[in-house]
Amino acid sequence: MTKIALITGANRGLGLETARLLVEAGMTVIVGARDVARGEAAAAEIGASSLPLDVGDAASVARAAATVEERHGRLDLLVNNAGILPEAPGVLDTRMARATLDTNVLGPMLVIEHFLPLLRRADAARIVNVSSTMGSLADQSDPGSPYYGLVVPGYQASKAALNSFTIGLAKLLADTPIKVNAVCPGWVQTDLAPGNREQAPTPAADAARVVVRYAQLDADGPTGGFFDAERAVAW
Ligand code: NDP
């Protein structure tokens, strides 16, 4: 049976490349996008369909879940990819931090809350939460880490919280075949923040492969973990 996959924030960047790979893998892919026109354009480019989906808006998420239920009756794969990084490093700005936590943590929670009934109807659904080693408390507190001096308060807190949620959700789903993991794609050439595309070493098409790996886990694969391209990342 063809798998049904939804990727949030998939109209550009890592989400779009993840969607492209999943189409190539034979899945029926739904591009979630808060901007309808951009979502439709991205979906047309890769042979997917699109859905209006703003992860910060409960009504939008509820409508998207109702549409997927109507069209497919279930969901086999959810990639919580949508995210923002509006803060400049080294600056404490609570307004931006609040927006970041809203999108990067409460967004995935809201999406999972609404889509869980559909994920439960799949044979063995997978959830990938796109996280970052910038949310690793071990990295943040290790003077030997390349990220030790980097302080981006809201973003780091958002990914640490997303990781915590990933552990908790895996426990909530322990008696189901659903697997949920947090994945760091690496430092990726996207427009997540000013200058990021120019400075990052990894093309989005390459980084998407690690997301896809955890989107296609076998039954004996891990759940409740945090991984990058090479290893399990220390929380
Ligand atoms: P981009 O800025 O290129 O893409 C972000 C996507 O998220 C866009 O499609 C954007 O939509 C969407 N988005 C933002 N807010 C919302 C919302 N409220 N509802 C729905 N969609 C939304 O960044 P990346 O592709 O780099 O980021 C993807 C994920 O990867 C993020 O979670 C990020 O934290 C994570 N990540 C990225 C790294 C990197 O180096 N780039 C490193 C580690 C993790 P729109 O076009 O409308 O703005």
Q: Give pLDDT, residue 146.
A: 85
Ligand 1: which of 6, 12, 35, 212 to mutate, most ligand atoms within 8 Å of CB? 12
Q: Which atom of ligand 1 is nearest to the CA of 35?
A: 47
Q: Give pLDDT, residue 114.
A: 98
Q: Give pLDDT, residue 23.
A: 98
CATH class label, 4-227: alpha beta
Question: Where are the chain's structural domains?
Answer: 4-227
Spot the catalytic one: 3, 147, 148, 159: 159
Q: Give pLDDT, residue 220.
A: 96
Q: Which atom of ligand 1 is nearest to the CA of 134?
A: 43
Please report where in the chains the tokens 């697997």 appear, as a residue.
179
CA of 1 to the centre of ligand 1 (A): 30
* pTM beyond cutoff 0.90: yes
Active site residue 155: yes
Running along the chain, 235 residues long, what does each successive block of 10 average in pLDDT?
A: 97 98 98 98 98 98 98 98 97 97 98 98 98 96 92 98 98 98 98 96 98 97 97 92
Query: What is the 3-class SS of 183-197, one letter each residue?
Result: ECCCCECCCCCCCHH
